[in-house]
Structure 1
């Protein structure tokens, strides 16, 4: 059962990390007016995009 749990949690982590990475790449593609629409400054967006994928 421990092996199953290991792979279950591993798949959850990988999925989460992939989502973070993808979202941050999308954030990089937004124009300044789009960032303003969602309440994020260009500097905040850049800081978020510079985080490693495993960091919240």
Structure 2
């Protein structure tokens, strides 16, 4: 169906600090699913940054 970037559930890749969401992580994702994955990844990125700073 297409190529994609392997990710964990929230969009994290094997490369530290690199996240992939939407159709780059799931080629079958429609607009709503792509948007939702972006929101989820953004929340996880924010949590990682907070832990890096204060954790």
TM-score normalised by the chain length of structure 2:
0.45
RCO greater where, 1 or 2, for CA within 8 Å and sep 6 or more? 1
Greater C-alpha radius of gyration: 1
TM-score, normalization: structure 1? 0.45
